């Protein structure tokens, strides 16, 4: 997932809008394009043969502004279609369009090959002029890390394996890492992480990374439920099929941390991941249990399948004790978010209007769209049961994404800038630059917003 080294032998890829005039091309090329039905519609690819039959270039349909607004990484279609060799973009792309095209091209090269070989596209792009090639390659590598982690089945990506990946990331960038393991979670006051993970033979743990010695404090918290059976409130098989991706929040914050460290941002970064497997055994936590959290708030368990907010609560409480300048939480938390927004548009929650505006604008700019949902105050009563401070699964089935977000906010009382992302982490149908499977969501939006939000 790297750019071509030089443009010496690169073939031209002409970017042409819908209904483009081809009169400047040689007559044989015009006739060939017409015979192939090339009109410039978005995503069309037309190879132009030379006199010897070998390609002398290609045309790519850029469509109209309206059609482009409904698609991301359109140029990735060319990466997946063109023959082997270096290619250079020719056409009036804006700087943002060129950057998206470059990133999409690299993302199209991703393949998950741990269990089965798969050939990646062999067409390579010469990085467009004005685009920071090193930065784009970092973004692509970080996305590949996130996808690899999510795509790996739970048989090979339990809490221990997630820890190994976490430590490898720390080692790569010279970060400090600490792991609190098993019953030591009780000793160090992380009772809800322990309660959720104790039924699995794969011990629960809290992963803690620190990097950077200057700048504002940035803390990332990611849900690392490596597999979720639902616990004693067992999921049906139809709901359990994708639960290897329930550590998608952890995978995404690890990808984001990779970006931050590789780009050398001037921040004091901390990454916290509660890594557990929610399993069924005689010592599993039960419906109607009341757990006492690290923060001291008591939680009545009304559904053991609402476990992600429990492990996040202890991690958020720890992070909040340091009062970071910005705290971001990322989790594959609720089905309600997917019902409301679909798989492609993750919602986020924050009380900070400036942060919300920065994330929304940066998401659009980074081709990583996000959408703000409210911490709706009238629903606070829904998360307050009769015998404890909080209810982990309010009855009624409505506003599930909001009540989950409100639950998490109760554990963040010192940090002024806090945002929670309820991501899906999965591409259900292949799209340009995004094959079916695990996918990062929100990380590039956050990265692009950091200079404004933290004054970098």
390 in helix, strand or coil? strand
What is each CA distance from 160 to 164, 193, 198, 277, 378, in whole angstroms? Answer: 6, 15, 14, 10, 40
Determine whether 235 is an active site residue.
yes
Cβ-contact 320, 415 below 8 angstroms: yes
**Residues 272 and 288 reside in one and the same domain:** yes
Cβ-contact 347, 337 below 8 angstroms: yes
The single-letter DSSP state of residue 227 is E
Which CATH number fits the domain that encloses residue 168?
A: 3.40.630.10
The span from the CA of 118 to the CA of 115, in Å, is: 10
456 HSE (CA, 13 A, CB side)? 22
**Residues 127 and 141 reside in one and the same domain:** no
Look at residue 1 and tell me if it is in a domain: no
**Residues 87 and 216 reside in one and the same domain:** no
Within 8 A by CB and 6+ apart from 22, the residues are 16, 29, 30, 33
Look at residue 6 and tell me if it is in a domain: no
What is each CA distance from 7 to 80, 125, 126, 323, 399, in whole angstroms? Answer: 20, 9, 6, 49, 53
What pLDDT shows up at residue 52?
87
Which CATH number fits the domain that encloses residue 69?
A: 3.40.220.10
Within 8 A by CB and 6+ apart from 332, the residues are 223, 225, 245, 246, 247, 248, 249, 308, 422, 423, 424, 425
Closest by CA to 345, choosing from 445, 250, 255, 259, is 445
276 HSE (CA, 13 A, CB side)? 35
What is each CA distance from 299 to 257, 276, 303, 332, 392, in whole angstroms? Answer: 31, 19, 11, 20, 7
The span from the CA of 337 to the CA of 402, in Å, is: 9
**Residues 249 and 304 reside in one and the same domain:** yes
Choice among 77, 198, 309, 417 that is catalytic: 309
Q: Can you read off the two tokens belonging to residue 254? A: 């690890």
**Residues 337 and 440 reside in one and the same domain:** yes
Pairing of strands 418-422, 347-350: antiparallel
Look at residue 449 and tell me if it is in a domain: yes
Q: Which residue, 81, 116, 131, sits at the end of a domain? A: 131
What pLDDT shows up at residue 1?
79
**Residues 324 and 343 reside in one and the same domain:** yes
**Residues 360 and 345 reside in one and the same domain:** yes
User: Residue-wise pLDDT tens for the chain (456 aa)?
Assistant: 799 987 889 999 999 999 988 999 999 999 999 999 999 999 999 999 988 889 999 999 999 999 999 999 999 999 999 999 999 999 989 999 999 999 999 999 999 999 999 998 999 999 999 999 999 999 999 999 999 999 999 999 999 999 999 999 999 999 999 999 999 999 999 999 999 999 999 999 999 999 999 999 999 999 999 999 999 999 999 999 999 999 999 999 999 999 999 999 999 999 999 999 999 999 999 999 999 999 999 999 999 999 999 999 999 999 999 999 999 999 999 999 999 999 999 999 999 999 999 999 999 999 999 999 999 999 999 999 889 999 999 998 899 999 999 999 999 999 999 999 999 999 999 999 999 999 999 999 999 999 999 999
151 HSE (CA, 13 A, CB side)? 22
**Residues 74 and 178 reside in one and the same domain:** no
Cβ-contact 382, 357 below 8 angstroms: no
Within 8 A by CB and 6+ apart from 70, the residues are none
Closest by CA to 250, choosing from 270, 277, 226, 267, is 226
Look at residue 164 and tell me if it is in a domain: yes
Cβ-contact 388, 410 below 8 angstroms: no
**Residues 352 and 277 reside in one and the same domain:** yes
Look at residue 4 and tell me if it is in a domain: no
**Residues 186 and 78 reside in one and the same domain:** no
Cβ-contact 250, 149 below 8 angstroms: yes
The tally of domains found in the chain comes to 2
**Residues 93 and 153 reside in one and the same domain:** no
Look at residue 227 and tell me if it is in a domain: yes
Look at residue 198 and tell me if it is in a domain: yes
Domain around 75: 11-131
What pLDDT shows up at residue 171?
98
Closest by CA to 220, choosing from 324, 375, 138, is 324
Closest by CA to 256, choosing from 448, 430, 429, 387, is 448
Closest by CA to 49, choosing from 59, 41, 57, is 57
Q: Which residue, 106, 131, 156, sits at the end of a domain? A: 131
The span from the CA of 251 to the CA of 235, in Å, is: 23
The span from the CA of 48 to the CA of 60, in Å, is: 11
DSSP state letters, 411-443: T-SS-SSEEEEE---EESS-BTTB-SEE---SH
Q: Can you read off the two tokens belonging to residue 244? A: 């290897």
Look at residue 5 and tell me if it is in a domain: no
Q: Can you read off the two tokens belonging to residue 53? A: 């039959």
Q: Can you read off the two tokens belonging to residue 217? A: 């404090």
Choice among 235, 268, 365, 372 that is catalytic: 235
Q: Which residue, 69, 97, 131, sits at the end of a domain? A: 131
Greatest CA separation for the chain: 82
**Residues 219 and 326 reside in one and the same domain:** yes
């Amino acid at each position: 997932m790297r750019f071509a080294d030089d443009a010496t032998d690169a073939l031209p890829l002409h970017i042409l809008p819908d209904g483009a005039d081809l009169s400047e091309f040689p007559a044989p090329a015009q006739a060939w394009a017409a015979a192939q039905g090339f009109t410039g519609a978005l995503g069309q690819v037309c190879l132009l043969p030379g006199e010897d039959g070998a390609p002398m270039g290609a045309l790519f349909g850029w469509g109209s502004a309206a059609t482009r607004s409904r698609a991301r990484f359109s140029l990735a279609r060319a990466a997946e279609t063109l023959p082997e060799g270096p290619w250079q973009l020719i056409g009036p792309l804006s700087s943002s369009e060129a950057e998206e095209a470059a990133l999409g091209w690299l993302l199209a090269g991703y393949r998950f090959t741990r269990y089965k070989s798969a050939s990646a596209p062999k067409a390579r792009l010469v990085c467009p002029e004005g685009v920071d090639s090193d930065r784009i390659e970092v973004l692509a590598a970080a996305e590949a890390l996130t996808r690899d982690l999510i795509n790996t089945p739970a048989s090979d990506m339990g809490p221990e394996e997630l820890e190994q990946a976490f430590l490898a990331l720390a080692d790569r960038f010279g970060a400090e890492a600490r792991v609190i393991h098993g019953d030591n979670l009780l000793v160090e006051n992380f009772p809800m992480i322990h309660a959720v993970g104790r039924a699995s033979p794969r011990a629960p743990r809290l992963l803690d990374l620190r990097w950077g010695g200057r700048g504002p404090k940035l803390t990332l918290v990611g849900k690392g439920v490596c597999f979720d059976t639902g616990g004693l409130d067992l999921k049906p098989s139809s709901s359990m099929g994708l639960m290897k991706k329930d550590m998608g929040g952890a995978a995404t914050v690890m990808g984001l941390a990779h970006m931050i460290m590789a780009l050398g941002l001037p921040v004091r970064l901390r990454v916290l991941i509660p890594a557990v497997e929610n399993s069924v055994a005689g010592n599993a936590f039960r419906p109607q249990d009341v757990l006492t959290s690290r923060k001291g708030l008591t939680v009545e368990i009304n559904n053991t399948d609402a476990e992600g907010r429990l492990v996040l609560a202890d991690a958020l409480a720890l992070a909040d004790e340091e009062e970071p300048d910005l705290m971001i939480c990322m989790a594959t938390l609720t089905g309600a978010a997917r019902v409301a927004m679909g798989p492609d548009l993750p919602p986020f929650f924050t009380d900070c209007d400036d942060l919300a505006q920065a994330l929304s604008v940066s998401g659009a700019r980074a081709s990583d769209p996000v959408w703000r949902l409210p911490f709706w105050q009238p629903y606070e009563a829904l998360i307050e049961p009769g015998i404890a401070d909080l209810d982990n699964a309010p009855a009624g089935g409505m506003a599930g994404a909001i009540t989950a977000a409100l639950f998490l906010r109760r554990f963040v009382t010192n940090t002024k800038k806090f945002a929670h992302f309820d991501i899906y982490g999965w591409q259900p149908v292949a799209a340009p630059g995004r094959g079916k499977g695990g996918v990062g969501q929100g990380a590039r939006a956050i990265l692009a917003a950091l200079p404004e939000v933290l004054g970098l």
